[in-house]
Structure 1
């Protein structure tokens, strides 16, 4: 059978992900694999309609499609996202309908699930028969048990095609009919309290987004800066070259405006508002390029302590995966997410009220320097980076290693010697039945709150 592999790596054939595809190709030589380097060739694909049609015709003539990609900033590479946009914009969804699809992705398991959810939902939107995913650590191919599982995964995929197996749909179609937003409530303008506020937007040709952004920016006594990504000279997306790993120097340094924008506008702001329109279950590929290019900071948080809000035109409430990507990104960045405002309302007044509430809260929380504690989204994500940078990724990411030492990210439990000694003593004590019974039957729950009660009862705290 013929399998089309859509390669989402900007490095093309020199891709970790493609080594897993090559391994499957080696083990299942009876099948024909047509590997298409999507992200690496996106400019050609977008600008030359003949090349685009050739790819679509390959998909039409295939028995199945494998979406193969590395995870880039919680999702897929921006060039891959642009290809997804082209599929819908050029109305070639029929080429994918009914095709059996699977996903192979590589990462360090930092939010690989949100990338998988995204492509799974795109498969469902395209009416493909989605059979499942295989998500790998970059160097899992070195492990025999992983290689065996990969072969089983591939065999199951080929069996599903051969047997015309029934597959499940995991995502409903998005239904979105917004009102035509027209601001209707006038509020008193707010003092910026000398806070630097930056609004970054794209898709301002979207009428609702344009009006919401204008309503927000006009809510202050002083003018605030509005940056339209479409007016910024950004030569391309992240190349995956990892040149930045040594000292944050990007391959694009001095070649476009992105790095100056990020360093001089984003990093220096107190309050940031991201504004965009949802396109095919994400923001635009331009927004994705913005986030991908931010990787010149590698895995080091750069938005620490900033207050951040989102203004979005689109069905965010139906796309929980996009919301989680946004929440997770800011928790990892150690910024404070103040809220989302969308045009998913039945009245103009509701949008006005949410925009004003966002405005007030951004200023208020910035003035008191508030940041809510991280949830699992931020804590777990940072621990993955901590362990990887301490270990296998210390080289080439030397810049991260230096930053993590300065930020006390290396808070490994084994350094808590007092806790280790106490635990050793208590474990020995539990070997005695009477003591063990006393601890677990009556003392445990009180001991858990003892140190906290001392703080609560101390008048100086």
Structure 2
């Protein structure tokens, strides 16, 4: 049986993910795993129609397609995303229709679920027969359990193809029939009170997106600055080289204008609004490249305290995975997600109301310097980064380790809270005595849970 492996690593064959593929091939030599280096060779694939057609021919002749990639900023790397866009732009869906598909993505488990959701959605849109996803930690191949699970995943995938198993579709097709939006005058112009607001759009070729950006900016006495990604000198996507790990020095430093743009206009803003039109189940390749290239800051949050909003043309309500991606992104950056405005409302007046509400909330939150508490998405994500950078990833990510010490990210290790550990040890010892245990669990537990909070309420200075 022939399986085409679409490699989403910008490093081509020199990839952790491809080692997992190689391990499958080693143990199932009766099957051919044909690796095509998509992300690494995307420029040639896009420019050379014959190369794109050759890839389609390989897929036509295959029994299955394995989408294999390292996780890059919540989904796939921009170069891989561009290939997915080309499939739809060039009406090449027929090559994928009916093929058995699976996903293999390596990471440290930070938001790997959103990458799987994205790729399963793409497979559903291509009318593929999606079997399953395998999401190992990048080091799981060194573990007995990790290797066993990988081979079990592969066997299940091969069996599904050989026996023509039925598969389940999870994501319905996205539909969008928005009104032609024409902005009205804002009810009252808002004052930014000296705060710097910046709007970044990928492109303003989409009429509704352009109108929404104009409508949003017209909500203010002094319209926020506007920048388009298509006007920024960006030579290419992230290379996955990790050169930035030591001191944030990117391989592109001095070679294009992205880093200067980011440091001059993104870092210095108080309010950031990202505007884009949905393309497949994300935004555009240009936006994905923006987020990937901002990884020159590695895993260090650089948008702390900023208020973030999103203006999106497209059916965001049908694509909650994308909304969650931006929620996680904002919490990872220690910023505040204020909200989304889209062109899904049935009237221009409804879109006006969304844009004005977003503008009001951004202004108010910025004036208050409000910072939302993290949800599970932020708390869980930051515990992953804390542990990984403290441990195995301290090298090569030396810059992160220094920043995490400076930002106090390591302070919440529970073993460092000596007072809590001593107190809990005493309580555990006391609870072994049934009389004391009963008096706590059946008597004072509820009062004890709020006692320390009541002290705060009773303190006139707090």
Q: Deviations over 1:271-298 (max 9, x none)?
A: 1000000000100011000000010000
Aligned to 1:121: 121
Q: C-alpha displacement at 1:220, in angstroms?
A: 2.0
- 1:419-458 map, 5 Å: 419-458=420-459
CA distance in 1, matches of 2:186, 2:455: 50
Aligned to 2:57: 57
CA distance in 2, matches of 1:222, 1:432: 68
Work out whether residues 185 and 218 of structure 2, in 8 Å CA contact, stay in contact via their aligned partners in 1.
no
Provide the aligned C-alpha RMSD in A: 0.8
Aligned to 2:319: 319
Unaligned 5+ runs, structure 2: none
**Count of residue pairs brought into register by the alignment:** 461
- 1:23-38 map, 5 Å: 23-38=23-38
CA distance in 2, matches of 1:32, 1:421: 59
DSSP-derived class of the 1:448 partner = helix
Work out whether residues 313 and 342 of structure 1, in 8 Å CA contact, stay in contact via their aligned partners in 2.
yes
DSSP-derived class of the 1:79 partner = helix
CA distance in 2, matches of 1:109, 1:184: 45
CA distance in 2, matches of 1:146, 1:388: 18
Q: Deviations over 1:306-338 (max 9, x none)?
A: 011000000000000000000010011011111
CA distance in 2, matches of 1:457, 1:188: 41
Q: C-alpha displacement at 1:186, in angstroms?
A: 3.6
Work out whether residues 8 and 39 of structure 1, in 8 Å CA contact, stay in contact via their aligned partners in 2.
yes
- TM-score, with length taken from structure 2: 0.99
1:366 equivalenced with 2:374 (yes/no): no
Q: Deviations over 1:313-369 (max 9, x none)?
A: 000000000000000100110111111000001111111111111112111111110
Work out whether residues 186 and 218 of structure 2, in 8 Å CA contact, stay in contact via their aligned partners in 1.
no
CA distance in 2, matches of 1:87, 1:443: 64
Q: C-alpha displacement at 1:185, in angstroms?
A: 4.2
Aligned to 1:287: 287
CA distance in 1, matches of 2:178, 2:347: 10
Bigger CA drift: 210-219 or 297-306?
A: 210-219
DSSP-derived class of the 2:187 partner = coil
- 1:194-209 map, 5 Å: 194-209=194-209
Work out whether residues 185 and 349 of structure 1, in 8 Å CA contact, stay in contact via their aligned partners in 2.
no
Aligned to 1:418: 419
Q: C-alpha displacement at 1:190, in angstroms?
A: 2.0
CA distance in 2, matches of 1:298, 1:202: 22
Runs (4+) off by over 6 Å: none
DSSP-derived class of the 1:39 partner = coil
CA distance in 1, matches of 2:159, 2:224: 58
Aligned to 1:108: 108
Q: C-alpha displacement at 1:218, in angstroms?
A: 2.1
CA distance in 2, matches of 1:349, 1:89: 32
Q: C-alpha displacement at 1:222, in angstroms?
A: 2.1
CA distance in 1, matches of 2:191, 2:110: 39
1:350 equivalenced with 2:336 (yes/no): no
Aligned to 1:165: 165
Work out whether residues 17 and 105 of structure 2, in 8 Å CA contact, stay in contact via their aligned partners in 1.
yes
